């Protein structure tokens, strides 16, 4: 009779650098970071929080379409994009607009995408991103494909792909990881575990103690990180990006984080599946509050600096929504024109019909 062995991976504690009070944890090796880098991490998180608040307001005014709030996940988003170079590539899910922005996509494009305008999918020259993937987990396979292209061409570019805890339950997730591991591709997979796939808790999606340990089956490193600690996220992401760039293969990073708002602005009510006590516990770990305390003690951040970033974010968002709202009205003929460089006879016929 064939003998079976049970393999159990002991779940580690997430990597943390800062305590919730903003103190350095003595047992952890602190990443080497300049004052300018620390300030830039904070600037990006504050900007992202303000942008998120304004986008929610614009959605409620009917000026934006689909929008997935990000507050609470800023450390995860900012910390994983900071180590990237301009030539690297980002493959996002639909909650990952901030990562696209920090990699070069204008906010106006993000707003056009939200409004369902075809120009929202037109990526500016030199911006190495895909538009957000709506099919859950499909970006993981796409990222493996982009990374395969980089490797075949002998490039040192790195791909970073994002999904949520729900995305890790999809078949595409495993296929992408397995392909990346088998071919040792230069890609970093980031699972932002905010504990809920819409209203489904993580505990009902998988029996694995962590999502990070799913990397074992693909033969790649898996790292569990405190996603509310931007320094810990930055440390893990920097090491993973360096490994990928130096030909040492892919990494799976699980950032344990929390979204303070609803899954999306399309009718989700988180009070139906989350308690006030749970919400309060996570708000005490707010990544902006934690990092603000740390920087304040080092004299690297103050109220005046934060106000400047806040006003800059409000101004940029206001300018972006005006630009999005002034975009030309879409037409069926225009949509057909954007499909191929040379239209098929069938499309030419349809275009002529809609151009009358």
| pLDDT at residue 27 in the model | 74
Residue 354 confidence (pLDDT) above 90: no
Residue 61 confidence (pLDDT) above 90: yes
Residue 111 confidence (pLDDT) above 90: yes
Average pLDDT over residues 12-16: 89
| pLDDT at residue 255 in the model | 97
Catalytic residue among 95, 263, 290, 292: 263
Residue ranges of domains in the chain, CATH in brackets: 35-325 (3.40.50.970), 329-356 (no CATH)
| pLDDT at residue 8 in the model | 55
Residue 3 confidence (pLDDT) above 90: no
- For tokens 């120009």, the residue is 119
At 323, is the secondary structure helix, strand, or coil?
Answer: helix
Contact assessment for residue 285 and residue 22, using Cβ atoms and an 8 Å cutoff: no
> Residue 193 pairs with which residues in a beta bridge?
256
pTM (predicted TM-score): 0.93
| pLDDT at residue 4 in the model | 42
CB-based contacts of 155, cutoff 8 Å, min separation 6: 87
| pLDDT at residue 6 in the model | 52
| Confidence label for 32 from pLDDT (cuts 50, 70 and 90) | confident
Catalytic residue among 174, 245, 273, 293: 273
Mean pLDDT of the chain: 93
| pLDDT at residue 9 in the model | 59
| pLDDT at residue 267 in the model | 84
pLDDT digit string, tens, across residues 206-259:
999 999 999 999 999 999 999 999 999 999 999 999 999 999 999 999 999 999
- SS3 of 187-245: the string is EEEEEEECCEECCEEHHHCCCCCCCHHHHHHHCCCEEEEECCCHHHHHHHHHHHHHHHH
Higher pLDDT, 70 or 266: 70
| Confidence label for 2 from pLDDT (cuts 50, 70 and 90) | very low
Residue 339 confidence (pLDDT) above 90: no
Catalytic residue among 54, 202, 243, 259: 259
| Confidence label for 1 from pLDDT (cuts 50, 70 and 90) | very low
Among 250, 259, 258, 244, residue whose Cα is nearest residue 214: 250
The answer to whether 195 is a known catalytic residue is no
| pLDDT at residue 338 in the model | 85
Q: b/e for 305-319, b at 16 or more Cβ within 10 A?
A: ebeebeeebeebbee
Question: Which range has highest mean pLDDT (1-15, 231-245, 322-336)?
Answer: 231-245
Residue 28 confidence (pLDDT) above 90: no
User: CA-CA distance, 292 to 310, in Å (whole number)?
Assistant: 14
| Confidence label for 10 from pLDDT (cuts 50, 70 and 90) | low
């Amino acid at each position: 009779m064939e003998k079976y062995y049970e393999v159990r991976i002991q779940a580690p504690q997430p990597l943390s650098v800062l305590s919730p009070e903003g103190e350095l944890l003595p047992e952890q090796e602190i990443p080497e970071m300049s004052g300018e880098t620390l300030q830039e991490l904070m600037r990006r998180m504050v900007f992202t929080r303000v942008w998120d608040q304004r986008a929610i307001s614009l959605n409620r005014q009917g000026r934006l379409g689909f929008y997935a709030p990000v507050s609470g996940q800023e450390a995860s988003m900012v910390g994983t994009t900071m180590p990237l170079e301009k030539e690297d590539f980002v493959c996002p899910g639909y909650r990952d607009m901030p990562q696209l922005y920090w990699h070069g996509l204008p906010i106006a494009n993000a707003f056009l995408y939200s409004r369902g305008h075809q120009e929202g999918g037109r990526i500016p020259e030199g911006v190495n991103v895909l538009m957000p993937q709506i099919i859950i987990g499909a970006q993981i396979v796409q990222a493996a494909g982009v990374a395969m292209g980089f490797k075949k061409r002998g490039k040192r570019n790195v791909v970073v792909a994002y999904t949520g805890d729900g995305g890790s339950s999809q078949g595409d997730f495993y296929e992408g990881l397995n392909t990346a591991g088998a071919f040792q591709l230069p890609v970093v997979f980031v699972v932002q575990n905010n504990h809920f796939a819409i209203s489904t808790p993580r505990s009902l999606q998988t029996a694995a103690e962590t999502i990070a340990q799913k990397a074992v089956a693909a033969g790649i490193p898996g790292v569990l990180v405190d996603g509310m600690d931007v320094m810990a996220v930055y440390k893990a992401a920097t090491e993973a990006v360096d490994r990928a760039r130096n030909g040492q293969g892919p990494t799976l990073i699980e950032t344990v984080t929390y979204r303070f708002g609803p899954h999306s602005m399309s009718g989700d009510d988180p009070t139906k599946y989350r308690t006030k006590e749970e919400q309060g516990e996570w708000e005490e770990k707010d990544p902006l509050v934690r990092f603000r305390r740390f920087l304040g003690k080092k004299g690297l951040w103050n109220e005046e600096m934060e106000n400047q970033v806040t006003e800059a974010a409000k101004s940029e968002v206001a300018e972006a929504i005006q630009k999005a709202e002034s975009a030309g009205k879409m037409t069926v003929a225009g949509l057909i024109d954007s499909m191929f460089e040379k239209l098929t006879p069938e499309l030419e016929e349809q275009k002529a019909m809609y151009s009358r």
